[in-house]
Amino acid sequence: MSIKFSKVNYIYALGSPLEKRGLNDVSFELTEGNFIAIIGHTGSGKSTLMQHFNALLKPTSGKISIAGYNIDNQTSNKHLKKLRKHVSLVFQFPEAQLFENTVIDDISFGPKNFGYSEEEAINLAKKWLKKVGLPEDISQKSPFDLSGGQMRRVAIAGVMAYEPDILCLDEPAAGLDPQAKEQMMKLFKEYQQEGHTVILVTHNMDDVAEYADDVLVMENGNLIKHASPDKVFEDNDWLQKHQVLKPTAATFADKLSNFTFDKKPLTLDKLVTDISKNLKR
Ligand SMILES: Nc1ncnc2c1ncn2[C@@H]1O[C@H](COP(=O)(O)OP(=O)(O)O)[C@@H](O)[C@H]1O
Ligand SMILES: [Mg+2]
């Protein structure tokens, strides 16, 4: 199955003096089961796009087909709960939405809400508490007594605990320390490799290179490129024109003018292999 956007437009505050275009005729087709990265400057429409995947926003015009559901301007809110079990969105700073008295109640809220029994929900919550790297003994604590990083993990566990087919993450690692960030990224990659779709908004081009199969580049509400990481980072002139940064490895490789690369290396591992090949020549 695929996720398809056909000429999706979104206008904030339509018809008011504050009218603002969020998405402009966005069309693409994504393969389910992939790891998809969405990149672009602040204000380019990434969060607006993300909120369309689970119909938190509905297109002002155009159509979306996702997980067997069709969404357009006329879609009624009645049918959306089922969709949201399959397609979940983790907002930027999701810790702001914690609300239960204990960590375990907060994480099991989602599974319960989507029809799991009390016992199943608690078991899922325990499983995901561990998966996001939190110790079991915090399960009875108030989420508000935790550190910011721990709160973030609780919030992410709360969405992963009902194991949505399509997991959408809006800058989930923003503000985390580098080690926590890497753990999170590995968790998302593992989740995708177990047979789910992951859609991630990020500013980190190293993560795009390392984890993504497919990339959407947004600019001013327009989709300006949809391609593999290799293709997105191929053309230096295009990157410069649109002020898209390169992965660290690619920047490094471009400075090694005496070296030849069959294909621009995007990850540190690939860079090291290519450099040693050059040195052996
Ligand atoms: N609630 C809103 N009301 C009006 N305009 C908005 C709202 N949210 C976002 N926008 C505008 O829509 C555009 C896209 O924003 P957004 O999707 O948040 O971008 P990004 O996530 O890439 O930073 C920006 O110009 C932003 O100012
Ligand atoms: Mg955003």
* 270, 245 Cβ separation under 8 angstroms: no
| Closest atom of ligand 1 relative to the 170 alpha carbon | 21
Element (H, E) at 12: strand 2-12
The pLDDT of residue 175: 87
What is the C-alpha separation between 192 and 30, in angstroms, rounded?
14
| Nearest CA among 200, 209, 204, 203 for reference residue 249 | 209
| pLDDT score of 260 | 92
Tokens 């490895």 -> residue: 249
Tokens of 213: 């199969």
Q: Give the per-residue pLDDT at 79.
A: 82
Q: Is the CB of 16 under 6 A from ligand 1?
A: no
Which ligand 1 atom sits nearest the alpha carbon of residue 50? Answer: 17
Residue bearing the CA closest to ligand 1, atom 26: 43
Picking from 246, 189, 34, the residue whose alpha carbon sits closest to that of residue 181 is 189
> Tokens at residue 171, please?
């800058």
Q: Which of 36, 40, 38 is nearest to 244 (CA)?
A: 40
Domains of the chain: 30-51+78-230 (3.40.50.300)
Per-residue pLDDT tens for 214-250? Answer: 999 999 999 999 999 999 999 999 999 999 999 999 9
Q: Which residue has the tokens 């471009």?
A: 254
State the Cα–Cα distance between residues 128 and 90, nearest whole angstrom.
Answer: 15
Q: Find, among 86, 93, 94, 59, the residue nearest to 75 by Cα.
A: 59
Cα(91) to centroid(ligand 2), Å: 9
Residues 6 or more apart in contact with residue 269 via CB below 8 angstroms: none
For ligand 1, pick from 9, 10, 19, 20 the residue to mutate: most ligand atoms within 8 Å of CB: 20
Of the ligands numbered here, which is closest to the C-alpha atom of 26? Answer: 1
Per-residue pLDDT, 150:
94
Instruction: Tell me the ligand closest to 51's alpha carbon.
Output: 1
Q: Is 22 in the pocket of ligand 1 (CB under 6 A)?
A: yes
Residues 6+ apart with CB under 8 A from 180: 133, 149, 153, 173
Distance in Å, CA 230 to ligand 2 centroid: 24
What is the tens place of the pLDDT at every residue in 74-107? 999 888 999 999 999 999 999 998 999 999 999 9
Q: What is the pLDDT of residue 78?
A: 86
The closest-lying atom of ligand 1 relative to the alpha carbon of residue 49 is 17
**Ligand 1 pocket, 51 CB below 6 A?**
no
Instruction: Report CA-CA distances (Å) from 57 to 11, 19, 21, 162, 170.
Output: 10, 15, 13, 22, 15
Task: For ligand 1, say whether the CB of 12 is within 6 Å of any of its atoms.
Answer: yes
Q: Which residues contact 66 (CB under 8 A, 6 or more apart)?
A: 3, 4, 53, 83, 87, 166
Q: How far is the CA of 134 from the centre of ligand 1 (A)?
A: 33
| Ligand 1, atom 7: closest residue by C-alpha | 12
Q: What separation in Å is there between the alpha carbon of 200 and the centre of ligand 2?
A: 11
Q: What's the burial of 176, exposed, middle or buried (CB within 10 Å: 0-12/13-18/19+)?
A: middle
Ligand 1 pocket check for 257: Cβ under 6 Å: no
Regions of the chain with pLDDT less than 50: none
